[in-house]
A and B are shown apart, each in its own frame.
Chain A
Amino acid sequence: MNQILNKLDEPTRRQFMLNAARTYLGVHLFPMLGPSIASAATEGAAKGAKAQHVIYLYMSGGMSHLDTFDPKPKKKEVMGPTKTIPTKADGVELGQYLPKTAEVTDKMCIINSLNSTQGAHEQGSYIMHTSYSLRGTIKHPALGSWVVKLGGRLHPELPGFVAVNSSPELTGGGFFGATFSAAPIGSPDQGLQDSKRFPDVSEEDFGRRLSLADRLNTQFHSRFPNTDVKAYEELYREAISLMNSKDLKAFDLSEEDQATRDLYGPGNFAQGCLLARRLVENDVRFVEVQLGGWDTHYDNFTAVEGRCLEFDQAYAALLTDLDKRGKLKDTLVVVATEFGRTPEINTDHSDGRDHHPGAFSCVLAGGGVKGGVKYGETDSTGGKVKENEVSVQDFNATIAYALGLPYDLVIMSPSKRPFKIADKGTPVTSIFG
C-alpha cells in the first residue's frame, strides 16, 4: 500500500490525507472560517475601515520614547548624547538611531501621548496585549485572539494569529480557548516548525497513528471532560488542516529572493518582519513580532542604539515592501511597547533610564491611517502628556476601529463576565484619512 501511495501525484496524496483525517478525526473539509461576529453587531465599528490585517511589532522591555519617537532636542539634560534627525515628514524629528525610519516617516502616524497605569513589565505588557489588568483568576485573550474572534479568519487553513519570538503568556487565547492562541514561531528561518510530515512516516501510517490517538483521546476525554484536554483535541484538527494547506509555504522564507531578505536585514526580528509580510499576503489576520532588550536601566544610550540597529532597517523595509506590493493600504502596522523611559538619566547606572508609564510613544502605519503626522503631545521634558492623552485601551480600540471591528461589543467569558476588545477604550478616529 505504501508503494502505491508514493506513486500518486500530489493532489491525490493530499486527498488521501484529508480523507484519512476526516475518517479518523472527523475533520470537516469545509473551511474552518467560523462565523464572523463582526457582521452581527456593527455599532461602534468604523464604516470605512480599510485594514484587514495587523502586523504588531512589540518592543519588549519598555522602549525609550525620548531616544526614538519623541525626542526633545531643546533639552540637552533630557537627551544626553542622543541627537535628533529630520525626517521625510515636515515637522517630525526622530532620534538619531532611526535613519531609515526617517525615510518612511511620511507613512507613519506617531502617537506621542500614550499613558499606561502599569509600570512593571509583566503587568505593563499584559495590559498592552489584552486591555485588562493582570489577574490571578482569569486569563484574558490577547489582542490577536480578539481580532480573530471578532473578525473571523481570512484563510481556511492557515492560523488566524501567528506570533514570532513572542511569549505564550502574552499571545494566548485566554478564555476564548487554545484555538485562538497564536501559532508560535521561534525562528523565522525555520518557519512553522514541524509542519511537514516526518520523512520516514508514510501517509498511511500517519493516518493510522492519528486514528489510534483519536480513539485513545475519545476515551480519555469522556473520562475527563476538561477544557484543556478538549483544547488539544481541537488543535489536532487545526494542525492537520494546516499540514494539508497548499499555502503552507507562506511560512517558508527560502521562497524569498536574497535581495528581499537583505532589504530587511539579518536577525530574528528583521526576518520575522519579512515573514509577517508573507503571512499577511497569505491572509493571516494578525501577526505579532517581538523585539526584546528595551529595558535600558543600565547604559541606556548604548543599549537603545543596539536595539535600533535591529529595528530601524527592518521596520523601514517592511513599510516600503508592503507599500510596493499594495498591501500597506489594508495592513495596519503597529509599533507598541509597555511603557517609555524616564527623562531623568540615572548616572549611577552608567546613564540608564528607568520605567516611565506616564508618557510614551507608539506608532501606527498603513490600514487607512494618515501618514507623516503626529498625534498627542508631551511636555517639554517628555515626562507628562500635555495634549490628547491616549490610554492603552484607547490605543487598542483604535486598532479595532481600523479593522472595522466592534470595539464596544460585549463578549461573555465562560464565567459569565463581560469583556470587550479594548475594555472601556474609545478609538482615536481623527488619524484616519
Chain B
Amino acid sequence: MKNLFCAVMLISSVSQAFGLEQKEAKVGEDLVFLKKSALAIDQHIAAFYRRQNLPVPEVTDDATYLRRAFLVAIGRIPTSEEALAFLEMDDDAKREELVQHLIKSQGYSSHMTNWAFDLLRLRDNQPGGQANNEPYRNWVRSAMDSNMTWNEFVTRLVSSSGNGWDPKTAAVGYYTIDRGMPLDNLSNTMRIFLGSRMECAQCHDDPFGKTERKDFYHLAAFTNGQYDQNEEYMSKLWTELEKDQEERSEEYRFAQLFRNRIFGMSLGGGGAGRIELPSDYQYRDGSPGEMVGAKTPFGKTVRMSERKDDSDGREQFADWIVTRTGEQFSAIIANRMWKRVMGKGIYDPVDEYIESSKTVHPDLMSFLARLVHELDYDLRAFQQVLMLTRTFQFGTNPNPSRVAGGDDFHGRKIERLSAEQIWDSLITLSSGDPDKMAKRTADNRIYVSNSPVLVGKKDMVQLSNEVLALESEAEVRKYFKDFMATVKSGGTDIKSDDSMMAMSEVKTYGLDSPVRASELPSPAPREHFLYLFGASDRLVVEGSSREPNVGQVLSMMNGYVQRQLVSNNDSHLYKSLEGASSVDEKIRRLYVAILSRAPTGEEMDWMKEEVTAQGEEGYRNIVSALVISSEFLFLQ
C-alpha cells in the first residue's frame, strides 16, 4: 500500500516537472471558489424570500440530508456503515465533506451514466438492426467516468466521424444509432443541447413559434451526408454475395460482419453543408429539390455554401452549438443540472429554453449559466456547488410546487425515486456497496454468425481500423479473402499477443445481477424490475417515468424484493445483524440500513412486538415492511 502510494506520488511529481499536467489547478477543484459560488446562489434565493415576504425554510435534519445527498449524488442509499459513520460524526463541516466525498466517488459517474443514456436514447442494439452500440455506450460511460467537460462531450458527439469501434472515435454512435433518420437526429440535437424545439419544422412552418421549415433545412445542411466510411469499397462485394447467398452462405456471413459491423458502424464525410429541399416542400421561398446552404437559425450566424459539398459541416455545427449560441448552451445544461440536484427545474420542461431574463428567477438563472461557463463546463463541480448550498439542505415540503412548470423554492419537493435509484438502493441492501463491483466492459470480440472468432488474437477495434484504412475495392476484396482464410485456420498465422489476451476478457452482467443499473443491458427488458418502475425504454429522449402502478406494488410485496432481499439469507443486510446483542440493537441496525435513520420510540415498540410474536421471522417481516413503505420509495 505504501509503495503504491509512493509510486503515485512519484508519477505525479515527474509529470509536474515535465509540465505534462495542466499548470493551473482546474477551477472545478478550487473548493473556495465552489463555496463562494454556493453562497452566491443562496443569496439569490434569500433575496427571493425577502421579496415574497416569506420566511426562509429551515435546514433539514442529518438523517434526511444524508439520504438525500446519497441519492442525488450517487443514486443509491447509503450502506449502514456509511450512514452510521456520518450520523455519529460530530463535525460542523461534515455535510460539506460528505458532498466532496460523494461527488468524487465511483457512484457519481454510474448515476450520471443513467442520465446520459436517457438523454441520448442509448440502447445496446437497434431494434431490427445488426449494428451494435456497445462501443458507443462504452464511450459515453467512460466520458462520465472521467468527468469529461460538457462542452467537450457535446463537441465530440456532434462533430464525430470515423470508426465506430475505435474508442477515440466511437462517439459516431451519436449519428449511427439514428441511421436513416438524420432529420430526427437533428431535432433531438437541438432539443437536448439547446432546448430548441424544431420537430414541427421538419414538416411545416411552426404556427406557434418562429421556426420555418426552411430554417430547419438550412440547419440540416450542416449534418447532411451521413454515410458509411468508404462504403463504395464494400457495396459491390455485398451485392454479389447478397444475391447469391444460398450457395455462398459462409462468405455471406463474413460479408455481414464487414458490411454491418465495420462499414455500417462507421461514419464517413464530415457534413456537406448543403442539402436539397424535400420533394413536398410547400412554401414560396424555395422549391422541391432546390439546394440550400447551411445557416444557423439564431445566435452568431454560421453559413456554408450551397454550391459545393464541404467536409466539416458537423464540426462547424458543433462549434456553433457550444460557443456561438450566447447563454443558451450554458443555461440549458445549468437548468438540467439544477433539476437533477434540487428535484425541480428553475423552469420546466428543461428542454424548452427560456431566456434567463424572462424566467421567474432572472438573476439566479443568469448567474447559473455564467457559473457553468466559468467552471469550464465541469458538471461534477457544478453539481458540487449546488449541493453545497443551503438551498439544497432545505426541509421537505409535501405540497406540489405552486409555480406551474417549475420550482416554487419552498422547500424540497417530495418525489418518488427513479427506477434506477430504487434498483441501486435495493442491491445495496442485498449485496453491500455496489461500487466495489467491477464495471461492465465492452465486448470487442469479433463475431461471425454469433460466435466469437480469433479471441485473444484480434479484436474488432484492430480489425475495423485495418479494414477502414484500406484504400480501394480491390484491397477490401483481398483483405476479405485473407481474413476468411485466417479465421478458418483458427488464426494460426497471427502471433498471440498477451495484451490482446487480457483485453479479450469480457465483463457483462445478466439481468438479475446485483450490479448498478448503469452496468445492466440497456434498455431493461419489459419484464424487468427497472422497466416496471419506469426506466426509460430509450426510444425517446428522457423517456423515464415515475408513475405508480399496481405492478410495482406487487413486485415490492412478492417479487424481486422478496427473492433477492427479504427471503435471501445471504443478504448483506442480514450480515449486518451479526454481533448485535439485543433485539433493540438489531431493529436499530435494520432501520439505519434501510431508512438511514434510527426508529422512533413508537416504531421501536411496534417492531419489538413483531419480534416477540414471530421470533426470527419477525425480522423478515420488519425488513419487508420497511422496504415496501413509502418512506423507502420517496426522496425527501
Contact = CB atoms under 8 A, between A and B. Distances in A.
A221 B348 contact: no
Interface stretch (B177-185, B386-394, B475-483, B495-503): B177-185
A172 interface: yes
B553 A236 contact: yes
Interface string B416-441: 10000000000000000000000000
B551 A213 contact: no
Given A192-B554, A193-B555, A293 B127 contact: yes
B180 A350 contact: yes
B414 A226 contact: yes
Interface of A: 119-123, 136-137, 139, 159, 165, 167-169, 172-173, 178, 181-187, 190, 192-198, 200-201, 205-206, 208-210, 212-213, 215-217, 220-221, 223-229, 231-233, 235-236, 238-239, 242-243, 268, 292-293, 295, 297-299, 303, 306, 342, 344, 346, 349-350, 352, 354-355, 357, 383
A159 B553 CA distance: 14
B548 interface: yes
Contact of A186 (B202, B414, B527, B630): B527
B20 to A, nearest CB: 46
Given A172-B547, A217-B630, A235 B127 contact: no
B532 A198 contact: no
Contacts of A122: 540-541, 543
B203 A119 contact: yes
7 contacts: A123-B199, A136-B348, A193-B555, A197-B558, A224-B630, A298-B179, A299-B180
B624 interface: yes
A186 to B, nearest CB: 3
Contacts of B179: 298, 349
A193 B630 contact: no
A239 B279 contact: no
B525 interface: yes
Contact of B626 (A187, A206, A216, A228): A216
B634 A224 contact: yes
A235 B556 CA distance: 12
Interface in B377-414: 396, 398-400, 404-405, 414
B279 A119 contact: no
Contacts of B543: 122, 167, 169
B553 A235 contact: yes
Contacts of B560: 194
B512 interface: no
Contact of A209 (B348, B625, B630): B625
Interface of B: 127-128, 179-181, 183-184, 187, 199-200, 202-203, 279-280, 348-349, 352, 396, 398-400, 404-405, 414-416, 525-528, 531-532, 534, 537, 539-541, 543, 545-555, 557-560, 562-563, 567, 603, 606-607, 610, 613-614, 617, 620-622, 624-626, 628-631, 633-634, 636
Given A182-B549, A186-B526, A225 B180 contact: no
Contacts of A344: 279-280
Nearest to A198: B562
A168 B187 contact: no
A186 B525 contact: yes
B567 A200 contact: yes
A119 B550 contact: no
A240 to B, nearest CB: 8
Given A122-B540, A216-B603, A306 B128 contact: yes
A137 B405 contact: yes
Contacts of A239: 550, 553-554, 557
Given A178-B547, A226-B399, A212 B203 contact: no
Interface core residue of A184, A185, A200, A306 (most chain B CB under 10 Å) = A184
Contact of B550 (A159, A198, A229, A233): A159
Nearest to A138: B404
A187 B548 contact: no
A297 to B, nearest CB: 4
A233 B631 CA distance: 12
Given A119-B199, A193-B554, A213 B549 contact: no
Contacts of B610: 208, 212
Contact of A178 (B548, B558, B606, B631): B548
Contacts of A168: 534, 545, 547, 549
B553 A213 contact: no
A42 B636 CA distance: 45
A206 B557 CA distance: 9
A209 B549 contact: no
A220 B558 contact: no
Contacts of B559: 193-194, 198
Contacts of A181: 547-550
B553 A232 contact: yes
Given A167-B537, A167-B543, A193 B551 contact: yes
Contacts of A213: 624-626, 628-629
Contact of B548 (A212, A225, A232, A357): A232
Contacts of B625: 209-210, 212-213, 216
A138 B180 CA distance: 33
A235 B620 CA distance: 22
Question: When A and B form their complex, which 6 residue pairs have the shortest distance between CB atoms, in order from nearest?
Answer: A298-B180, A186-B527, A194-B559, A212-B625, A136-B349, A186-B526
Contacts of A169: 543, 545, 547
Contacts of A186: 525-528, 531-532
Contact of A183 (B279, B545, B550, B624): B550
B345 to A, nearest CB: 10
A217 B629 contact: yes
B199 A220 contact: no
Given A167-B537, A168-B534, A212-B621, A120 B558 contact: no
A183 B549 contact: yes
B264 to A, nearest CB: 11
A209 B628 contact: yes
B540 A223 contact: no
A121 B202 CA distance: 13
Given A186-B526, A205-B617, A239-B550, 9 more contacts: A119-B202, A185-B551, A208-B610, A212-B622, A228-B416, A228-B548, A233-B630, A242-B550, A354-B183
Contacts of B621: 205, 208-209, 212
Nearest to B404: A137
A231 B549 CA distance: 9
Nearest to B416: A228
A238 B303 CA distance: 60
Nearest to A292: B127
A136 B352 contact: yes
Contacts of B607: 212
A238 B552 CA distance: 12
Contacts of B547: 139, 168-169, 172-173, 178, 181
B629 A195 contact: no
B532 A238 contact: no
Nearest to A178: B548
Given A196-B558, A212-B625, A224 B396 contact: yes
